[in-house]
Amino acid sequence: NVPLADYDPEINDLVEKEKYRQFSGLELIASENFTSQAVIEANGTCLTNKYSEGLPGARYYGGNEYIDQIELLCQKRALEAFHLDPTEWGVNVQPYSGSTANFAAFTALISPQDRIMGLDLPSGGHLTHGYQTAKKKISSSSIYFQSMPYQVDPVTGYIDYDRLEANAKLFRPKVLICGASAYPREWDYARLRKVANEHDAYLMMDMAHISGLVATHEAANPFEFCDIVTTTTHKTLRGPRAGLIFFRRNSTEARNKGLEGRVNMAVFPSCQGGPHNNTIAAVAVTLKQAASPEFVAYAKQVRANARTLGEALTGYGYKLVTGGTDNHSVLWDLRPQRFTGSKVEKLCDLANITLNKNAVHGDVSAVTPGGVRLGTSALTSRSFKEADFVKVAEFLHRAVQIGLKAQEQCGSRMLKDFLKVVEDSPEVAQLRTDV
């Protein structure tokens, strides 16, 4: 039992460097967060040694006395954290990630080649909601199912519900998916339920990005309207990397008959093998935290910080998709500045500000998207308040100004030429020091 630092200094050194990177810079990636010490500890336990295919009380391996108790506790806490009645809702806590949770959900609900409708990736949707391009089926959800995505309105940036409804009439989806990776606004669940009902389709919410807000009533409640709700546990919920699938139990709707058995079967044995028990324990700790008053205050602050960040950027004259935000994320459209998201991302990396390029509606190319996505959940975990985000906006503004000057200087539109200019820029070095 030699400690990591002694046994493998090479890996240990890289882990330490990554730790330093995470805490010395400004983390603005909307899908990331900083887990607590307790979550990290649970994730690094001996539970990783154990095989436990099956469900509590019905495993394919012996020795699962304690693992059963951990998984049952995790299920109970998941229902409590989202204020769900266990006679109406059940949960599977075994998905390894959000992507596997979504594929398992489809496996439970529909057959190969059935039709699904989710928000298009260039409109802010996630890959696993049926992403395909005009030339190629990209995600397994578009390879194994027929996908017809819906989009945001190119002018307002809000979901175009009228068009969605009209297209659903033609396409008659079996699953209508809501939820996104880059959509700063609230969902109209009542409208989506109405559309789903017209086609007797399942309404599935992938609340990965906003689950911490849903748990704390800082976002509308999808459980009121949906048949099935999936989530990751590592974004606003602030846990380890994993997924959850909530399903309706004892529903009187014919389509939901046997949903519990279908979901459990889809996770194992259809899509996965043995659960990652260390992660399930860490998710249980996360859910205990998510039910605490401190977490409610945290989620409120996440939203207040996102509003402040958005307002500060608009104050500098920048354009935001939909003009603002209802949640933890801000989609910043840099096309009016004739600047690309890729350049902002790379330049900010040099200044220890971490964010990601993101498509904004109407982008011609997904390879050089015209915007960046910003999120406030990680820095709020580091106790950032509104005034800190005003400062963050100032740094971002400085970065863009430096970038625009460099773009002019370099006389080329190519990212690699641009990088050559900014890499040696004293202004970038100064920004990094100030950050």
Query: Where do the H-state alpha helices sit in 248-372?
Result: 259-265, 277-290, 293-315, 341-350
Token reading at 36: 């607590």
The question of whether 235 is a catalytic residue gets the answer yes
The question of whether 241 is a catalytic residue gets the answer yes
Residue 277's CB: how many other CB atoms inside 10 A?
A: 23
Q: Are 242 and 280 in contact (CB under 8 A)?
A: yes
Considering the rule CB under 6 A, would residue 276 count as an interface residue with ligand PLP? no
**Torsional class of 174: left (φ above 0), alpha (ψ -120 to 50), beta (otherwise):** alpha
Considering the rule CB under 6 A, would residue 371 count as an interface residue with ligand PLP? no
Considering the rule CB under 6 A, would residue 373 count as an interface residue with ligand PLP? no
Q: Which of 33, 94, 97, 151 binds ligand PLP (CB under 6 A)?
A: 97
Q: Which of 35, 128, 232, 308 is catalytic?
A: 232
Q: Which of 32, 53, 165, 311 is catalytic?
A: 53
Is the bond preceding 269 in cis, omega lying within 30 degrees of 0? yes
- Report DSSP state, residue 152: B
Closest listed residue to residue 403, CA positions, set 337, 306, 331, 323: 337
Query: HSE (CB half, 13 Å, CA atoms) of 247?
Result: 27
Return the number of the residue (30 or 313) whose C-beta is nearest ligand PLP: 30
The question of whether 206 is a catalytic residue gets the answer yes
Contact mark string toward ligand PLP, 23..62, x via CB under 6 A: --------x-------------------------------
Q: Which of 51, 249, 368, 405 is catalytic?
A: 51
Residues 197-256 that bind ligand PLP (CB under 6 A): 206, 208-209, 232, 241
Considering the rule CB under 6 A, would residue 377 count as an interface residue with ligand PLP? no
Closest distance of CB 358 from ligand PLP, Å: 11
Closest distance of CB 376 from ligand PLP, Å: 16
Contact mark string toward ligand PLP, 163..202, x via CB under 6 A: ----------------xxx---------------------
Q: Which of 191, 194, 241, 432 is catalytic?
A: 241
Considering the rule CB under 6 A, would residue 128 count as an interface residue with ligand PLP? yes
Near ligand PLP by CB under 6 A, which window of 94-102, 104-112, 193-201, 214-222?
Answer: 94-102
The question of whether 53 is a catalytic residue gets the answer yes
CA–CA dist 267, 276 (Å, integer):
13
Q: Which of 115, 174, 235, 357 is catalytic?
A: 235
In Å, how far from its chain's centre is CA 86?
A: 26
Expressed in angstroms, the distance from the first to the final Cα of the chain is 40
Closest listed residue to residue 344, CA positions, set 371, 308, 312, 311: 371
Closest distance of CB 87 from ligand PLP, Å: 28
| Helices H / strands E in the chain, number of each | 17, 15
Q: Tell me the C-alpha to C-alpha distance, in Å, between residue 199 and each of 105, 175, 178, 393.
A: 19, 9, 16, 45
Closest distance of CB 2 from ligand PLP, Å: 32
Closest distance of CB 125 from ligand PLP, Å: 8
* Catalytic center residues: 51, 53, 206, 232, 235, 241
What is the binding site for ligand PLP (CB under 6 A)? 31, 97-99, 102, 126, 128, 179-181, 206, 208-209, 232, 241
